[in-house]
Structure 1
Amino acid sequence: MWPWLLSLLALAAMAIYAVGLTYGAERWKAHTRELRSQLDSARTPPRQQRVDFRDLEGLPSPVQRYFRTVLRDGQPVVRGVAMRHEGRFNMSESGARWKPFTSEQWVAPHRPGFVWNGRVAVLPGVPARVHDAYVGGEGILHATLLGLVSVADERGDGALAAGELMRYLAEATWYPTALLPSQGVTWAAVDDRSASGTLTDGGTSVTLLFTFDERDLIDTVRAEARGRMVGGEIVPTRWLGRYWNYEERGGMRVPLDGEVAWLPPEGEQTYWRGHITGIDYEFAP
């Protein structure tokens, strides 16, 4: 084949790829805007607009110490969050195939909900775009290649919604006023370094075990059975989140680093390690 024809075909392929990449990115942005609009539409006023340490009376001791460590009495509660992450995501269900990711996330504590928009570099020049969300009582998982080819597209209630509400509750370490009893979380004592927190939204109720370190900060969060996608099926699996590197943001102490793992019978499988690169809060007036 003539060299000039090969060059022409290569240029044509590059042009088609560039057009597809641009179209996919714009289409994905439109999906993200739609999810954010749904999240905003589901928002309700906070149950209580200020932190009141009198509400801590009767809570388990480690929970009281945690709130007194990360919050200030009288400060406004969080009404919205916008955050940005970077880190690595394990693409393997049973091994280690780590790929870099960047993401942005929006959270509305009233009504509980979030939208996570992630970009994972699965292959050179071929990003996977992922929406993981809990909006209006529904769980959402949508993953594509280039923003065009769907590899997962799930939305609904039941186990999917419960798993996403668990994520919201576990990640409330980043917006800790949402863990207050005045905002809907019910706490039960376990021991001097742990307590269980329960959150109900509509017909979905979830409970997680929180453990606290020697500084009275949340160290780990555990679920006995969170829905894990295995071969297209949701399988209840033990789950763990770890947090560290606490710093002050928005007048609260929040962790800037974390990781999450599945705990199947065959052993711990860490699949997300991330760092908060930016976090902005909207507070109640």
Structure 2
Amino acid sequence: MVWIGILAVCLVVALALWAAGEAMVLRRRVETREGAGPAVALPQEVRALAARMGARGAGRLARFRQVAEMEMAPGAGWQALRARQWVALRATGFVWLARVRGLGPFCAFSVIDAYAGGRGRLVARLAGLVPVARAGGPEIDRSEAMRYLAELPWAPDAILANGAIGWQVLADGRLRASLGEVAVVFRLEGGEIVEMEAEGRPSLEGGTLVLRDWRGVFSEHGEIGGRRLPLRGEVGYLREGVWVPYFRGRIVGYEVG
């Protein structure tokens, strides 16, 4: 029985390293990709927001860690996870690597969510190796481009450094960020981003992609890694007019480089 336990631990470690290696390959693609150059002629309100957040437009990547939980499907129950994320600042891309702990060593999931070169990728694996969900194609590309925009509150240097992002100040004071036809809208309170909204984001549900309106709430703004960020975020879809969150998490480590 002791040897079985040792073998189980070794297998879990090996599979975790497999998933981490795949994420590192994607991260290098994101990090080395050249973007459209620094943003110019930004609206004054957008430049002021970046300044309040401590953005300098320097570095290639924002790197951070999260302690979070997800509900894979409505009513399925929340599962704890830890994640690492790399967000490109000069180009448009990110890699999110999460590990969801199950009931035992062979019930852990690894999830890689990524966007690079205009292509999105979503892969979930049991024990880090056996694929249980995989998605790609134009709708996933759109979904992941939306995610990149939605998480700009966690990568404010991209506001200054990524010229591919279009910005517009709406009549009610909200800020619209776009990549071509893909866009999200931010609402501010007291100069801080507190909410994100987007229309028609693809949601993978039971193997089928469904377009739903999307909303995120940001809170607990504070200093971390030389930036002022919302330390907590919660994201969900509108289902029959009701906002149903599926992710909530906290930033616990942050750096730009």
Structures share a fold, TM > 0.5?
A: yes
Of the candidates 24, 32, 38, which is equivalent to residue 29 of structure 2? 38
The answer to whether the aligner puts 1:217 opposite 2:198 as a matched pair is no
1:247 aligns with 222
Q: Whole-Å Cα distance in 1 between the matches of residues 114 and 104 of structure 2?
A: 27
1:13 to partner: Cα distance? 4.6
Q: Whole-Å Cα distance in 2 between the matches of residues 155 and 211 of structure 1?
A: 30
2:20 aligns with 29
Q: Whole-Å Cα distance in 2 between the matches of residues 245 and 182 of structure 1?
A: 26
What secondary structure sits across from 2:93 in the alignment?
A: strand
The answer to whether the aligner puts 1:281 opposite 2:251 as a matched pair is no
The answer to whether the aligner puts 1:228 opposite 2:203 as a matched pair is yes
Structure with max Cα Rg: 1
What secondary structure sits across from 1:23 in the alignment?
A: helix
Q: Whole-Å Cα distance in 2 between the matches of residues 70 and 29 of structure 1?
A: 30
Say if 2:89 and 2:161, in contact at 8 Å, map to a contact too. Answer: no
The answer to whether the aligner puts 1:47 opposite 2:7 as a matched pair is no
Deviations 1:105-138 (A, max 9, x none): 1111232111100001132332110000002211
1:4 aligns with none
What secondary structure sits across from 2:211 in the alignment?
A: strand
Q: Whole-Å Cα distance in 1 between the matches of residues 129 and 71 of structure 2?
A: 22
What secondary structure sits across from 1:130 in the alignment?
A: strand
Point out 4+ residue stretches in structure 1 off by more than 4 angstroms: 10-13
Which sections of structure 2, spanning at least 5 residues, go unmatched? none
1:11 to partner: Cα distance? 4.7
Say if 1:46 and 1:79, in contact at 8 Å, map to a contact too. Answer: no
Say if 2:31 and 2:61, in contact at 8 Å, map to a contact too. Answer: no
Say if 1:177 and 1:183, in contact at 8 Å, map to a contact too. Answer: no
The answer to whether the aligner puts 1:66 opposite 2:49 as a matched pair is yes
Q: Whole-Å Cα distance in 1 between the matches of residues 162 and 83 of structure 2?
A: 30
Say if 1:47 and 1:182, in contact at 8 Å, map to a contact too. Answer: yes
> Which residue identity lines up with residue 97 of structure 2 in the other structure?
N
Deviates more, 1:245-254 or 1:78-87: 245-254
1:14 to partner: Cα distance? 3.4
Q: Whole-Å Cα distance in 2 between the matches of residues 227 and 36 of structure 1?
A: 24
> Which residue identity lines up with residue 117 of structure 2 in the other structure?
G
Deviates more, 1:259-268 or 1:243-252: 243-252
1:184 to partner: Cα distance? 2.7
Which sections of structure 1, spanning at least 5 residues, go unmatched? 1-9
What secondary structure sits across from 1:47 in the alignment?
A: coil
Q: Whole-Å Cα distance in 2 between the matches of residues 154 and 206 of structure 1?
A: 19
Cα distance change, pair 67–15 in 1 and its aligned pair in 2 (3 A)? closer
1:16 to partner: Cα distance? 4.7
The answer to whether the aligner puts 1:165 opposite 2:145 as a matched pair is yes
- Provide TM-score, normalisation by structure 1: 0.81
> Which residue identity lines up with residue 173 of structure 1 in the other structure?
P
Cα distance change, pair 212–78 in 1 and its aligned pair in 2 (3 A)? farther
2:63 aligns with 82
The answer to whether the aligner puts 1:208 opposite 2:191 as a matched pair is no
Root-mean-square deviation (CA), in Å? 2.4
Cα distance change, pair 13–252 in 1 and its aligned pair in 2 (3 A)? closer
1:216 to partner: Cα distance? 1.2
What secondary structure sits across from 2:75 in the alignment?
A: coil
Cα distance change, pair 116–182 in 1 and its aligned pair in 2 (3 A)? closer
Equivalenced residue count is 256
Residues 150-189 of structure 1: pairs in structure 2 closer than 5 A: 150-156=131-137, 158-180=138-160, 183-189=163-169
Say if 1:229 and 1:235, in contact at 8 Å, map to a contact too. Answer: yes
1:68 to partner: Cα distance? 4.3
Cα distance change, pair 232–252 in 1 and its aligned pair in 2 (3 A)? same
- Provide TM-score, normalisation by structure 2: 0.89
Using the aligned pairs only, state the percent identity.
31
